[in-house]
Structure 1
């Protein structure tokens, strides 16, 4: 039996029974009944040596799911992979028509995930054979002409920080077994998980990148239209919606990519408007919010022992707050943007940053307890990071015109050589698993 509880977006069950479901995949972006964040029942204190790494042919933004000694993960190379946990060897792969940036969920020998080809898939988890697929109205990157006022103004530009697709959530308390996920077509879908038949869909006014959260009979989802929605989980009827910040010129900046987390009668989520929010889960009223100095908050919060843990983008911060009051309790600075959501084991938090480092942070002291560098970071950090060892756009763009979209693309391609960790880690049996933009799924032993 896999020895940890989880939250963050795939499955919905009674938290006290979560550890008894040996046929459930545990991983980041999964949800327990009280949705309290990903954490281990063990007490790991740091990082050991590498166990193995598995190479795909594309960047890995997907987060792994672990079930029955198999790791499942998607890649930009259009494949979902099933990897043997002990050996790191390929068991099978399933090829779709697009990049697999959604994170998989596994339950009762079925794996669920989405692809940029516009389909959400259900596969036999042991063999990779297709069970069903559901076609959305299409998946696409966020973008616009003259994005963020960059030049040339008549050129269509994709948002290079649009990394994820919405990942599936299963309602295990539903006798019909419902799977929920969002889409670029603006809909939150509820399907019969056995057949793939649509039960209902709720239309927002923007693409959906966040993964839904199920809590006390409601499903919560954020949209690029800047609203967080609370819907009746059975019918899809709107209960309430909450508006985050919005600016007319930079409207594509403010969408909600962070997936919500629920506990203590509250729903927690971050936004591109530079704030992290805590709302009353029943009525959507704001309880508190944290201003991140105009830094995006794209991570999904983990909550443990009355504290909520998040990461920020441009300020490079890992933070802890009192879950009820919002009072800051811990701050730890990394070397790059944090889009990887934390996994907590005992008194240690594990997460990655865009400079290619996986961090272990002691939650009692706020100090570094361990650090691992991806293959890309080890090879290229000296040529890509600034003299302080940090990501620095202006340092990389020196001699180029910062107003040009081409400059932004060039800088991002340099950053990708570091092997950024956007994937969120998962711990199983004293090993931590995570993906990297260098194309690897890593397995690292824990202390």
Structure 2
């Protein structure tokens, strides 16, 4: 047990500047693609085939094996912990005993190999790492999967309804009796929370011309965020949208040239913030007008959702770096860089910023070579792929399986 969950040598502290404090970090067997949740002084983490509970000093309290992989944040209600896995929704006691399960099927997104230049057949896309987490509201658990969207009663796991929304890897957003989910079929859906009926659906436009025709532009793969009467969400299509919650009508939208919207959005103090992938920036737009009022350059792709502690924003990159940004002053600084990132930075980051992709291995089939190229980047940089916060502490999830607890000072 200690080999999987242990404090790492204090030598790592040298990577942190004076204004940062590393509280602890643990090593797990799988990438930490979803943030943990903290409840009553206990941190719950699901990654790979394990559900773990730790105290806030990073010591393992208990661990439960999972029969199928999980890449989602647990949710807690009624002294129960609910977790979405590739075999469905599981409910545990807060001491890790399985209470009930609701079976469904999930897994990676498969794409047409010929469209991606990999040859005939369907292949798991190497950039679609995230899965739906469960959202709890009024005694009901909502979650997405490979087959669509489900509503399940929290107390006993009884299915209340199902809606075919295609492959749905976004966490449902629920407000005013409406459930909003995004699908890889390039549609955003507003569903009736009571019966799952489709109230509205919105389809994103796609790039045209020389950039057109690639199905990598398709998909609402980012968690929608509801604030008041509006939904804020980006997509693979290079567009970010503000839509009406009740009717799905567009209030405003912004197109970012040749860049996926990389991260789920954060609505904070009248602004909506989100990261770009190839656009190499954290964007802040006025929620009312849609005007871009903050453009914070990034050295690399941003996939982890930004978070806020007080007035300070934090965002992280696939180059293994954590940044702070204070909107009031425009001050922007790097707070942390993984040791592996320091070692391999020149190899994977261009001098003026942006990913420096390594040549494909000519000895491998094209898909395997492409997969190796992405995997090498993530491993060499200790890429940060999830970012969460609770009680003033930041939790950084890395592709190599480490979870760091970090307190800004």
TM-score by length of 1: 0.82
Partner of residue 192, structure 1: 153
8 Å CA contact 1:47–1:370 kept in 2: the answer is no
Partner of residue 99, structure 2: 131
Q: Output the CA distance in 1 between the equivalents of 2:405 and 2:238.
A: 33
* Higher RCO (C-alpha under 8 Å, 6+ residues apart): 1
Whether 2:179 is the aligned partner of 1:207: answer no
Shift of 1:246: 4.3
CA deviation string 1:370-396 (max 9, x = no partner) = 421234324433443334464222xx2
Q: 1:144 is matched with which residue: 85, 107, 111?
A: 111
* Cα distance change of structure 1 residues 227 and 145 upon mapping to structure 2, 3 Å threshold: closer
Q: 2:88 is matched with which residue: 113, 119, 124?
A: 119
SS at match of 2:299: coil
Whether 2:383 is the aligned partner of 1:420: answer yes
Q: How does 1:203-352 map to 2 (within 5 A)?
A: 203-204=164-165, 206-246=166-206, 249-352=213-316
CA deviation string 1:183-213 (max 9, x = no partner) = 111x210000111110001112x20011111
8 Å CA contact 2:300–2:353 kept in 1: the answer is no
Q: Output the CA distance in 1 between the equivalents of 2:387 and 2:44.
A: 13
- The CA RMSD measured in Å over matched residues stands at 2.2
* Cα distance change of structure 1 residues 298 and 200 upon mapping to structure 2, 3 Å threshold: farther
Q: How does 1:21-36 map to 2 (within 5 A)?
A: none
8 Å CA contact 2:280–2:354 kept in 1: the answer is no
Partner of residue 80, structure 2: 110
CA deviation string 1:385-409 (max 9, x = no partner) = 334464222xx22786999323321
8 Å CA contact 1:350–1:425 kept in 2: the answer is no
8 Å CA contact 1:386–1:392 kept in 2: the answer is yes
Shift of 1:165: 1.0
Query: What residue ranges of structure 2 are gaps of 5+ in the alignment?
Result: 1-17
Q: Output the CA distance in 2 between the equivalents of 1:236 and 1:427.
A: 32
SS at match of 2:30: coil
Point out the more displaced range, 377-386 or 308-317.
Answer: 377-386
Whether 2:42 is the aligned partner of 1:80: answer no
Shift of 1:98: 2.8
* Cα distance change of structure 1 residues 291 and 246 upon mapping to structure 2, 3 Å threshold: closer
Partner of residue 52, structure 1: 24
Whether 2:131 is the aligned partner of 1:165: answer yes
SS at match of 2:340: helix
CA deviation string 1:312-347 (max 9, x = no partner) = 111121010010111001011222211111111222
* Cα distance change of structure 1 residues 130 and 154 upon mapping to structure 2, 3 Å threshold: same
8 Å CA contact 1:331–1:366 kept in 2: the answer is no
Shift of 1:157: 2.0
Whose strand proportion is higher, 1 or 2? 2
Shift of 1:249: 3.5
TM-score by length of 2: 0.89
CA deviation string 1:116-140 (max 9, x = no partner) = 2x12111112x1111111110x212
Shift of 1:146: 1.6
8 Å CA contact 2:347–2:356 kept in 1: the answer is no
8 Å CA contact 2:168–2:182 kept in 1: the answer is yes
Partner of residue 89, structure 1: 59
